[in-house]
Amino acid sequence: MKTIQQSVQAVLDTAGVKINGKNPWDIQVKNDQFYSRVLAGGSLAIGESYVDGWWDCKELDQLIYLLLRANLDEYARHSKHVLINALKARFLNLQTKTRSKIVGRHHYDVGNKLYRLMLDKRMNYSCAYWKDSKNLDEAQERKLDMICKKLRLKPGEKVLDIGCGWGSFAKYAAEKYKVSVVGITISKEQAILARENCKGLDVEIRLQDYRDITEKFDKIVSIGMFEHVGYKNYRTFFEVVNRSLEDKGLFLLHTIGGNKSETHTEPWISKYIFPNSMIPSAKQITHAYEHLFILKDWHNFGTDYDKTLMVWHANFNKNWDKIKNDYDERFKRMWNFYLSGCAASFRSHKNQLWQIVFSKNHSEVEYERMH
């Protein structure tokens, strides 16, 4: 009869991972209760036991990549926590106007100093575009410029940025393309710094839910925000964009995408990093915009997010001494698990990164792809 440790090792063998092995991606167990905890708790227990210091790994991103490549995330889906999340997502709208503010307080308000040290100089908290780029600053500027070009921005146009973050796109578009930008966010800390970053430009930053937008705009963009909309609100989101976009306008959606339709997210990420988040599938997106928009372009560069996240991971650890008095060791381990796990999800192609361009369904906007 197998011991609990042998049962866990048998599962890990399918991924080429050893308990207390010599490879940098092998798990080094510090607490023997780890085995029963993981067998009972699935992916949530794996992340929580790491944060608790029950196990370590030199190359955490590579370990998670191997687990995902072996589809062990599917094995972990049978835990009770996955079922609970699925039931909550089915019977509750987890992204109402009130509940949508939770992720702002929980994640984006965690500290502007942390993000300033981790991100590029413009503070883009979304996937960079690494083609012909030498470093993170160049890759993020290339991403911003590609978005502006895809939107065919012209001087004097009025642009809406849904989920504006710290104002990176708003500032770039106003500076380089001489447009007027309204940026909205649900994070108080983001709004404060975004206003500071965009000072002196034709940019207005609002603390506002996307469902409360009432004006018309020439162009609309949403970068890394759709993951917080939730499947029950996908149609509402596209309806809001449709009513807010001028007839000859363009809308660009920059979002993480999943290979299959889900109605809930991974338990550990939902609990500790992005509460009530949800990664859309292509099917869910196309269903949500039906009869509202014409698809002009669909660009996938998901592997660029692996590289982006690993640079963020390096920056975070390189600058830890500058912020360690504001956080504790558990936070450091949690953040490393988050960044490493997300990088692995793109490396294993479990997640994608999409930029999708739309025009309104009754317009005749000519469009030529930029990539």
Residue 37: Cβ within 10 Å count: 18
| Cα separation, 214 vs 211, whole angstroms | 8
Q: What is the pLDDT of residue 69?
A: 95
Q: What is the pLDDT of residue 106?
A: 42
| Cα separation, 327 vs 181, whole angstroms | 35
Least confident of 16-25, 67-76, 115-124, 128-137: 67-76
Question: Mean pLDDT in the chain?
Answer: 90
Give the DSSP letter of residue 281. B
Domain architecture of the chain: domains with CATH: 4-78 (no CATH), 97-360 (3.40.50.150)
pLDDT band at 336 (very low <50, low <70, confident <90, very high): very high
Q: What is the pLDDT of residue 84?
A: 40
Q: What is the pLDDT of residue 363?
A: 66
pLDDT surpasses 50 at 83 = no
Least confident of 239-253, 269-283, 334-348: 269-283
Under 8 Å between Cβ of 365 and 293: no
Please list the active-site residues: 342
Q: Are strands 351-360 and 293-300 parallel, antiparallel or unpaired?
A: antiparallel
Q: Pick 295 or 267 by higher pLDDT.
A: 295
Q: What is the pLDDT of residue 266?
A: 83
Q: What share of the chain is helix, strand, coil (3-state, %, to 5)?
A: 50, 15, 35
Q: What is the pLDDT of residue 82?
A: 39
- pLDDT (tens digit per residue) in 268-284: 888 888 887 899 999 99
- How many residues would you count in the chain? 371
User: 285-323 b/e with 16+ CB inside 10 Å = b?
Assistant: beebbeebbeebbbbebbebbbbbbbbbbebbeeebeeb
Output the CA torsion 159→165→166→168 (10° steps): -50
Average pLDDT over residues 85-102: 44
What are the tokens at 217?
A: 């705009």
What are the tokens at 276?
A: 């009530």
For residue 96, report the phi and psi dihedrals to the nearest 5 degrees: -65, 170
Q: What is the pLDDT of residue 31?
A: 97
pLDDT band at 105 (very low <50, low <70, confident <90, very high): very low
Q: What is the pLDDT of residue 160?
A: 98
Q: What is the pLDDT of residue 73?
A: 78
Q: What is the pLDDT of residue 86?
A: 39
| Cα separation, 355 vs 125, whole angstroms | 15
What are the tokens at 223?
A: 């970068």
Under 8 Å between Cβ of 31 and 55: yes
pLDDT band at 108 (very low <50, low <70, confident <90, very high): low
- pLDDT (tens digit per residue) in 26-53: 999 999 999 999 888 888 899 999 999 9
What are the tokens at 103?
A: 């992720």
| Cα separation, 214 vs 209, whole angstroms | 11
- pLDDT (tens digit per residue) in 144-180: 999 999 999 999 999 999 999 999 999 999 999 999 9
* Interior angle at CA 178, CA 128 and CA 206, nearest 5: 70
Angstrom CA distances, 263 to 86, 92, 96, 240, stand at: 7, 11, 15, 21
- pLDDT (tens digit per residue) in 198-230: 999 999 999 999 999 999 999 999 999 999 999
Angstrom CA distances, 265 to 49, 84, 177, 226, 371, stand at: 19, 11, 37, 14, 31
Q: What is the pLDDT of residue 95?
A: 46
Q: What is the pLDDT of residue 361?
A: 76
Please identify which residue in the block is written with the tokens 């956080």: 327
Instruction: Identify the CA nearest to 228 among candidates 283, 259, 273.
Output: 273
Q: What is the pLDDT of residue 272?
A: 87
Under 8 Å between Cβ of 185 and 163: yes
Output the CA torsion 358→359→362→364 (10° steps): -130
What are the tokens at 173?
A: 């578009």
Average pLDDT over residues 304-310: 98
